Structure 1
């Protein structure tokens, strides 16, 4: 997601192998972005993902009651999933050569 240019008060420096730089530059170029912008965005997204995995989920008492009721209630079949689970696994299918 694009961000407004903030004042850059805190520089970050890294030493990377040439192959890593080439890979980053290639990917950044495909997105039409600078190396710095690409790496900053990737690092921020990775940090947000880690935080989202570890932060507790907060909800109201009514919300928690509804959540527990949904988990405790009877399961409702999803037709598309039922159909997928009824198919034989790829390794169970006979090949055309047999």
Structure 2
């Protein structure tokens, strides 16, 4: 009896304008990825975002009060963010090549 190997990959076919393909290929190249890997990752990431947006957040009444109390507290500075905001942006500094 021959061994039957169940295929785990499922093909997905799309028709796209050449301008879209060129954009995808350029972006994939910038990331060092194949078109297939780039499109798969982008599609899965967006699917996860849509699913997460649709999922309700459930918590107990006590948990909700704790959450709301935390939001009501004044913000605290994050030292790394304060330091980053004090640095001049690259376009605000003089370049040595001029």
So what's the TM-score if we normalise by structure 2?
0.60
Q: Unpaired segments of 5 or more residues in structure 1?
A: 1-6, 80-98
The whole-number CA distance in structure 1 between the counterparts of 2:75 and 2:70 is 14
Structure 2 counterpart of 1:27: 27
Question: Cα gap change, 1:77/1:57 in structure 2, threshold over 3 Å: closer, same or farther?
Answer: closer
The whole-number CA distance in structure 2 between the counterparts of 1:23 and 1:53 is 27
Q: Does residue 1:64 correspond to 2:64, yes or no?
A: yes
Q: Unpaired segments of 5 or more residues in structure 2?
A: 1-7, 78-98
The whole-number CA distance in structure 2 between the counterparts of 1:54 and 1:27 is 29
Q: CA deviation at 1:62?
A: 3.3
The whole-number CA distance in structure 1 between the counterparts of 2:13 and 2:44 is 15
Q: CA deviation at 1:78?
A: 6.5
SS of corresponding position for 1:39: helix
So what's the TM-score if we normalise by structure 1?
0.60
Q: CA deviation at 1:55?
A: 0.4
Q: Over aligned residue pairs, what C-alpha RMSD do you find?
A: 2.4
Structure 2 counterpart of 1:76: 74
The whole-number CA distance in structure 1 between the counterparts of 2:13 and 2:58 is 36
**Number of residue-to-residue matches in the alignment:** 72
Question: Cα gap change, 1:55/1:77 in structure 2, threshold over 3 Å: closer, same or farther?
Answer: closer
Q: CA deviation at 1:58?
A: 2.2
